């Protein structure tokens, strides 16, 4: 079931990430590619030395969006719960758990607490990721 969820989420967001990466590649001046080719750089060297460094901020952004999105899974497990109720229960993801606590068990205060803690965890993980990415870039 985890593979099915990963497949759904991958195809759901791969287009969005590709648009971000394509836009980042379009910002690289064509003169830079021409200068590298004139210096004798091949396609692999241009990709490694020019394109990849130009994509680093966009890759950081897409990874950050993917990490945040993985914490917010709700629709996909909710839809697949009807297909495989033995595998996916009401506590499969934190959002699904908060939903079931709020609307099935009618414990709205507890569901709000779960949602708030999930938001806090997302902020902490995102900050730690950005801090790590910025330290690697400046080092």
Structure confidence by residue, pLDDT tens digits, 17-47: 999 999 999 999 999 999 999 999 999 999 9
Q: What is the pLDDT of residue 108?
A: 95
Q: What is the pLDDT of residue 23?
A: 96
Taking the C-alpha atoms of residue 32 and residue 51, their distance in angstroms, rounded to an integer, is 10
Q: Which residues contact 25 (CB under 8 A, 6 or more apart)?
A: 51, 54, 55
Taking the C-alpha atoms of residue 115 and residue 78, their distance in angstroms, rounded to an integer, is 17
Q: What is the pLDDT of residue 139?
A: 63
Mean pLDDT of 57-75: 92
Mean pLDDT of the chain: 92
């Amino acid at each position: 079931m985890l593979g099915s969820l990963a497949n759904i989420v991958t195809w759901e967001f791969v287009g969005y990430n590709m648009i971000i990466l394509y836009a980042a590649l379009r910002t690289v001046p064509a003169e830079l590619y021409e200068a590298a080719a004139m210096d004798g750089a091949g396609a692999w060297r241009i990709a490694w030395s020019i394109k990849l460094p130009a994509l680093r901020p966009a890759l950081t952004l897409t990874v950050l969006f993917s990490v945040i999105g993985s914490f917010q899974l709700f629709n996909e497990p909710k839809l697949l719960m009807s297909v495989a109720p033995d595998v996916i229960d009401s506590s499969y993801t934190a959002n699904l758990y908060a939903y079931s606590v709020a609307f099935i068990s009618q414990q709205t205060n507890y569901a709000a607490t779960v949602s708030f803690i999930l938001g806090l965890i997302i902020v902490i993980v995102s900050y730690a990721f950005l801090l790590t990415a910025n330290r690697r870039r400046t080092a």
